[in-house]
Structure 1
Amino acid sequence: MPPPRSTRPTYRSPVWRALRNLRDGSFCRKSSGAATVFPNPESRGMMMPRFATAAAVVLGLLSARPPVHLSAQSLRVPYQTFRLPNGLQVVVHEDHSVPVVAVNMWYHVGSSDEKPGRTGFAHLFEHIMFMGSQHVPTGDFDRLLEAAGADNNGSTTEDRTNYYEDGPANALPLMLYLDADRMGFLLPEITANKVDLQRGVVQNERRQSYENRPYGLAEENILERLYPASHPYHWPVIGSMADLQAATLDDVRRFFQTYYTPNNATLAIAGDITPRDARQFVERYFGDIARGPAVTRTPPPRVQLAGAVGAVLEDRVQLPRVYNAWHTVKAFSVDDATLDVLANVLAGGRSSRLYRRLVYELQIATDVVAFQDGGRIDGKFEVYATARPGHDLGELQRVIDEELRKLADQGPTPREVERAQNTVEAQFLSRMERVGGFGGKADQLNYYNYFVGTPDYFQKDLERYARVTPAAVRRTLQTYLTGAHRVVLSVVPQGKPELAVKEGATP
């Protein structure tokens, strides 16, 4: 399901995507109390999977209650939309339940728009956007919002860059003014000193999230093996140290001129505001910003592994962990929701198949995670498990393969599928409770608008999951999760390669 990224759980879904900021991983400029949805801090961007394990354990308790069956109700978020002459699309949702308003800007640019040798620009630029614009000096962006009682943050994934401000309704003009000034008047303030400063911040972020973080390099290793070097998903959102170091002032300026334009952005406003007032403010602050060049993208060819790929990574970890990754489908494709349900059946809580077998019955693993990660271009499915002391990854891998074969032969039970669907419904309820932040209604309106072209896709999204059957889960597993076409990565303590999955041990 949906989802922006700071830390991720074990199983994602559409809710996760919305909550995805929880999963996969968008990189967030700063941490906040709000959870992010979509995307595992270890994944492409820096957010979490739609149905991550930790969250799934809690939601699994919710799903033990009688199903809510939101699919039988009317789950709508009324909205109005308009487009300025410069191309900026605006989506407005009126909700007077509380006197707050959320401003959520999606620029349609992410790490997948970068080129080999020039990676990390999307995330680097996310940081630069908070460094002051022509009429808002450095430091005033946060200071003015805090004085108005408003909060803000930003995140980057492989497919988009998101900025939001949440605050009292009377702060809406200020929030829109600040966003407009950095869209229209940031370029003169992009200096070599600012680029160097934020380059250092991002490089330090990479050290903390990748080089110096247990298992932090695993996702990068998986992406390098799943996708060829020319593919837009080959590199992580944060980019490489070498590319960040090589970034020049001219590179950064060109990136802004190409992608940070009104015709390459969508603005969602939700909360205590009328569409009429919202339009007046938007036209006042954004109307004079010039349209930018049209952004054209050529989809890369479909990628398929020629065979099974095994790899070993020695890392500064105490316990070994095995990762399995397969190519699947992009977000909102036919089998995307079914793969989410499959992830829940495998590792979505204590009663899930892999969790029950590995953690409870055999007690050879400390945890297990599964998620479907669908993006704009492609998707991948991952299963990973961490071994308990005294056990090697070959033991875990054999059980994972046994359970996959069993599920492919027999399919899940109706109760397993229903439990996953109940989890999705519980996530939707949680998501609908707030208008702002990562995964709130404003963010979701932008999310759906970007991926399916319909801001109010909540009901139809939920219906995708309601239509999933045990037979569909079985067919999907047989189609995508084959041992012959996957990456198996063993992450082991330094000096202990014997704990890895042995070559040829996987089908």
Structure 2
Amino acid sequence: MKFTQYLVLAFLVVTTISCKQEGGEDTAFAKAETPTFNVNFEKFTLDNGLTVILHEDKSDPVVAVALTTHVGSAREIEGRTGFAHLFEHLLFLESENLGKGGLDAMSARIGGSGANGSTSRDRTNYFQTVPKDALEKMIWAEADKLGYFINTVTDPVLAKEKQVVKNEKRQSVDNRPYGHSRYVIGKNMYPKDHPYNWQVIGSLEDLQNATLQDVKDFYNRWYTPNNTVLTIAGDFDVAQTKEWVEKYFGEIPRGEEVAPLEKQPVQLEETKKMYYEDNFARLPQLTMTWPTVPNYEEDSYALDVLATYLSDGKKAPFNQLLIDEKKLTNRVSMFNFGSELAGEFGLSINAYAGKDLDEVAKAVSEAFTKFELQGISENDLERIKAGQETQFYNGLSSVLGKGFQLAQYEIFAGDAGYINKDVDKILAVTKEDVMRVYEKYIKGENYVSTSFVPIGQKDLALEDSKLAEVVEEEIVEGAEETFDASIVADYEKTPSSFDRSVEPPYGESPELNIPEVWNETLSSGIEVYGIENDEVPLVQFQMNIRGGLLLENKDKVGVSNLLAQLMTKGTATKTTAQLEEAIEKLGANIYAYSDKENVYIGGNTLAKNYDKTMALVEEILLQPRWDEKEFDLIKQSTLSNLEQQKANPNAIASNYFDMLIYGEDSILGKNNLGTPKSVQAITLADLKSYYSNYISPSVAKMQIVGAIGKGQATASLNGINEQWEVKEVIIPKPVVPEAPEQSNVYFYDVPDAKQSVLRFGYPALSATDEDYYPAQVMNYRLGGGGFASELTQELREGKGYTYGIGSRFSGTTIPGPFSISSGVRSNVTYESSALVKEIVQNYGKDFTQEDLDVTKSFMTKSQARAFETIGAKLNMLDNISNLGMPVDYAKQRQATVAKMTVEDVKKLAGEYLNPDKMIYLVVGDKKTQMIKLEQLGYGTPILLEEKEENVKQ
């Protein structure tokens, strides 16, 4: 991936669901109730072989454009692993006519979602959602990348991007718990010459060895029109779009033909058991992986059902045995992962601290045996399919999701229209199919197991396990090569029939369509806000009950978190299993959680089942079960999560940054999970006390979005409104400290960390402050604008120090911090920190009219995307109901941006960006990095140490 945040691609699984009534079982699957839903599209092929798929969706004034090339790590060769992913990064940097900054610079001007990409074993894609007036610009830009790119790559550019990708590997693999497990599985699952033997990210050594000629050869072989699919989905004119596609892509020459790879499923000759002592692990982890079949093969559908049935929910055999009965873990993850050439069925279990993984493996065997004896019921099969239906509609809530799936089917199933055949195969899965694939691929078959255990605890690994070979990077000062990425390539431009250096104009500017909001205050005090939207037959809802951490005792932190978790573990009339089954039969999802300020209950469901879903929410809210066994399990799970957080550098940074921002004695500085000592001390009576005193409609607000009107939405709340006891709840107003008078540097030691995690900032503004949005506008070019930001351009693009860096204001109703966050290469910890300090110091002074123009363009045009998805509309209602924003706040923000001047930005920067009044927190390797931070000029770094609590788990 190109960004620090990973994009989850929702696979669209089912279009329609039907079932039969059998044996008098109560099911929610009525065939007549299920609507017909089709994703219409048009497909054509240019003379050069480019496949183009168009899908019209006029619901929002936006268009998603995605370019998917049928090349991933499977097309690499040994010694050049990670190359497909490295190439994905390079393609964003520049092209002949886009110039330096490429799509990233253009995205900042046109209000795009941020040009991004991802690489898998089998494909690489590039994507962005833009206001519809920028469609021609996007088609021009994507064509420039595909046909007019390679001349711009220089040795310095390649050297810099190697550093970026290596930083990504450090962040996602080397510097986190269990990061090397997939590497060990791949090396032992697949033969050395199999394309899946290596990981997509590759090895640091291979990345370093990549040459400029390698880049050119890779581009010329794989980045051709006849190996690429272009999908365009959204609000556009079909005829005009076809003309633009032909104009910009049509003269790119066809490449060498690409023969399809043969399917290469594997069969293990023996079970392989490997172990590794993990520097970042606090809990032992067992994974078991069996080879299966590629995507879209017949058995893959039943394997999907098998994975869900065995591990998902209270009734799942693995959860019953490993979690409830034997108390070995708080979670069992199971999956069927199909790729183009082969597939894998796996399970992963993070056991509780000190648990022997042989004991876990024995329980796994017992769970499989239990499944063999009981099988899967028809009711359970249909329950799983109902969930798939809801997942399908969720995946269609954005035009980008539709575009992704059309390309997926076109490349890997041979036809974008395969979506209809896919549905038939999903619906055709029977109970017998599920048992058959279990017996064929799992029962008695060889597998690969990995035991990743804390350092010094190899006795917890599976018996007879062999030490896995893992290459750990050494921290060496000055080890990376230097480069000057600003050097401009000298080349002769690729000829074209027209002047491609001229950026196309904008189309007609889309109007900002603000959804119509309704609201009503019920007699109990509940404030209800809603938006009716029937684009997909779903409803998404959330209730926030003010309180959360704010209402907790500082000596017993964690009560609201435990309460929220317990609320979905049954009701007065339903056990946990019965409640889960009732929810799943509806194809619904109901969740509860807490944070610093609220307890939340929400979910989503098919619109046809909304009333039944809300009836269950009513039970959850008003008739808690107070199950002592479930409470004990939740406590144990929370203690396990806290233990694992102690070894995760990012979690350490987040928790300690909160403490430093708000103060060790402030409730806001506490981890809302609590501490091992506080969680152990909490009783069920504490939860009941919180519930009886603070869970009240007088501090509750409900937001509802989807295919449902105001009348039905409010009527569904009648029971809650009439039966929920009203209490007076006084929400304390915590005192938030001012920015420190002078900066201090704090350091937390993670021995041998491959990266240093940086968190710099100070207590700043609440979201209700009149300066809050102007400050966000001011921050756009500093660190809020992704690749358009100065922090990214300097630390990533200029120096290769990091994979990603950003800055933001994060206030709510309470003042929150201004923060700068990054993970940087360990041996440039001081250099990165000093550069951040310098950038912040000079930001206001250096801010130009051009910076303001780019900021205004993005902030104004990006509003076209502001309310596209159901989730975005729910967020809009949250802003209105909880922050007191007017319904038309988006238009008011546009007016604010339009009036801002360079002097306004300079003034805001002067007021809110002072690097000499900040907290500097670094989580990294003390022995090599801490002392150098004295050079920042803020004295000797203060060493933070974990507080040991003598608590039995």
The TM-score bracket by the shorter chain reads 0.7 to 0.9
Match of 1:405 in 2: 369
Q: After superposition, where does 1:147-296 map in structure 2 within 5 Å?
A: 147-151=109-113, 152-296=115-259
**Cα distance in 2, alignment partners of residues 379 and 346 from structure 1:** 18
1:468 aligns with 2:429: yes
Amino acid at match of 2:75: D
> 1:128 and 1:353, CA in 2 relative to 1: closer, same or farther beyond 3 A?
same
Q: Does structure 2 retain, via aligned residues, the 8 Å contact 1:310–1:503?
A: yes
Q: Give the Å deviation of 1:72.
A: 5.5
Match of 2:390 in 1: 426
Match of 2:441 in 1: 480
Out of 356, 377, 380, the residue aligned to residue 344 of structure 2 is: 380
Match of 1:495 in 2: 456
Match of 2:65 in 1: 103
Match of 2:94 in 1: 132
Q: Does structure 1 retain, via aligned residues, the 8 Å contact 2:265–2:343?
A: no
Amino acid at match of 1:116: E
Amino acid at match of 2:392: F
Amino acid at match of 1:95: D
Q: After superposition, where does 1:289-308 map in structure 2 within 5 Å?
A: 289-299=252-262, 301-308=264-271
Amino acid at match of 1:473: V
1:86 aligns with 2:48: yes
1:233 aligned counterpart, secondary structure? coil
2:105 aligned counterpart, secondary structure? helix
Q: Does structure 1 retain, via aligned residues, the 8 Å contact 2:265–2:293?
A: no
Amino acid at match of 2:288: N
Amino acid at match of 1:448: Y
Q: If the length of structure 1 is used for normalisation, what is the TM-score?
A: 0.85
Q: How many residues align?
A: 451
Q: Does structure 1 retain, via aligned residues, the 8 Å contact 2:10–2:395?
A: no
Amino acid at match of 2:43: T
**Cα distance in 2, alignment partners of residues 102 and 476 from structure 1:** 38
Q: Does structure 2 retain, via aligned residues, the 8 Å contact 1:95–1:271?
A: yes
Amino acid at match of 1:77: V
**Cα distance in 2, alignment partners of residues 289 and 190 from structure 1:** 19
Out of 57, 60, 75, the residue aligned to residue 37 of structure 2 is: 75
Match of 2:357 in 1: 393
Match of 2:303 in 1: 339
**Cα distance in 2, alignment partners of residues 195 and 71 from structure 1:** 56
Q: Give the Å deviation of 1:467.
A: 1.5
**Cα distance in 2, alignment partners of residues 310 and 71 from structure 1:** 50
Q: If the length of structure 2 is used for normalisation, what is the TM-score?
A: 0.46
Amino acid at match of 2:217: R
Q: Does structure 2 retain, via aligned residues, the 8 Å contact 1:231–1:300?
A: no
Q: Give the Å deviation of 1:364.
A: 1.1
Amino acid at match of 2:386: N
1:455 aligns with 2:416: yes
Q: Does structure 1 retain, via aligned residues, the 8 Å contact 2:95–2:149?
A: yes
Amino acid at match of 2:347: V
**Cα distance in 2, alignment partners of residues 213 and 231 from structure 1:** 27
Amino acid at match of 2:8: A
> 1:71 and 1:208, CA in 2 relative to 1: closer, same or farther beyond 3 A?
farther
**For residues 268-299 of structure 1, what are the alpha-carbon distances to aligned partners after superposition, in whole Å with 9 as ceiling and x for unaligned?**
11111232122111011111111111122442
**For residues 447-467 of structure 1, what are the alpha-carbon distances to aligned partners after superposition, in whole Å with 9 as ceiling and x for unaligned?**
111111221333432332222
Q: Give the Å deviation of 1:391.
A: 1.6
Following TM superposition, where does structure 1 have runs of at least 4 consecutive aligned residues deviating by more than 6 angstroms? 68-71
Q: Does structure 1 retain, via aligned residues, the 8 Å contact 2:334–2:346?
A: yes
Q: Give the Å deviation of 1:495.
A: 1.5
Match of 1:36 in 2: 9
1:324 aligns with 2:288: yes
Q: Give the Å deviation of 1:124.
A: 0.1
**For residues 69-113 of structure 1, what are the alpha-carbon distances to aligned partners after superposition, in whole Å with 9 as ceiling and x for unaligned?**
699543321111111111101010111111111111110000000
> 1:117 and 1:32, CA in 2 relative to 1: closer, same or farther beyond 3 A?
closer
Match of 1:57 in 2: none
Out of 315, 327, 340, the residue aligned to residue 278 of structure 2 is: 315
What 5-or-longer segments of structure 1 have no aligned partner? Answer: 1-27, 39-49, 52-63
1:348 aligns with 2:312: yes
> 1:65 and 1:257, CA in 2 relative to 1: closer, same or farther beyond 3 A?
farther
1:313 aligned counterpart, secondary structure? strand
Q: Give the Å deviation of 1:142.
A: 1.4
> 1:194 and 1:478, CA in 2 relative to 1: closer, same or farther beyond 3 A?
same
**Cα distance in 2, alignment partners of residues 232 and 34 from structure 1:** 24
**Cα distance in 2, alignment partners of residues 37 and 444 from structure 1:** 8
Amino acid at match of 2:145: R
Q: Does structure 1 retain, via aligned residues, the 8 Å contact 2:264–2:342?
A: no
Match of 1:144 in 2: 106
> 1:298 and 1:167, CA in 2 relative to 1: closer, same or farther beyond 3 A?
closer
**Cα distance in 2, alignment partners of residues 292 and 210 from structure 1:** 35
Deviates more, 1:341-350 or 1:87-96: 341-350
Deviates more, 1:377-386 or 1:405-414: 405-414
Calculate percent identity across the aligned residue pairs.
37
Amino acid at match of 1:129: L
**Cα distance in 2, alignment partners of residues 310 and 32 from structure 1:** 33
**Cα distance in 1, alignment partners of residues 149 and 80 from structure 2:** 21
**For residues 104-127 of structure 1, what are the alpha-carbon distances to aligned partners after superposition, in whole Å with 9 as ceiling and x for unaligned?**
111000000001111111000000
**Cα distance in 2, alignment partners of residues 326 and 267 from structure 1:** 35
> 1:75 and 1:458, CA in 2 relative to 1: closer, same or farther beyond 3 A?
farther
Q: Give the Å deviation of 1:37.
A: 3.8
Amino acid at match of 1:347: S
> 1:112 and 1:386, CA in 2 relative to 1: closer, same or farther beyond 3 A?
same
Q: Does structure 2 retain, via aligned residues, the 8 Å contact 1:313–1:490?
A: yes
Q: Give the Å deviation of 1:390.
A: 3.4
Q: Does structure 2 retain, via aligned residues, the 8 Å contact 1:78–1:456?
A: no
> 1:32 and 1:492, CA in 2 relative to 1: closer, same or farther beyond 3 A?
closer
Structure 1 vs Structure 2 CA RMSD: 2.1
**For residues 9-44 of structure 1, what are the alpha-carbon distances to aligned partners after superposition, in whole Å with 9 as ceiling and x for unaligned?**
xxxxxxxxxxxxxxxxxxx11145853346xxxxxx
> 1:92 and 1:228, CA in 2 relative to 1: closer, same or farther beyond 3 A?
same
> 1:154 and 1:318, CA in 2 relative to 1: closer, same or farther beyond 3 A?
same
> 1:326 and 1:115, CA in 2 relative to 1: closer, same or farther beyond 3 A?
same
Match of 1:123 in 2: 85
Amino acid at match of 1:36: L
Relative contact order (alpha carbons < 8 A, sep ≥ 6): 1 or 2 greater?
1
**Cα distance in 2, alignment partners of residues 338 and 487 from structure 1:** 21
1:66 aligns with 2:39: no
1:319 aligned counterpart, secondary structure? coil
Q: Give the Å deviation of 1:367.
A: 1.6
Q: Give the Å deviation of 1:300.
A: 6.3
1:270 aligned counterpart, secondary structure? strand
Amino acid at match of 1:218: S
**Cα distance in 2, alignment partners of residues 446 and 300 from structure 1:** 20
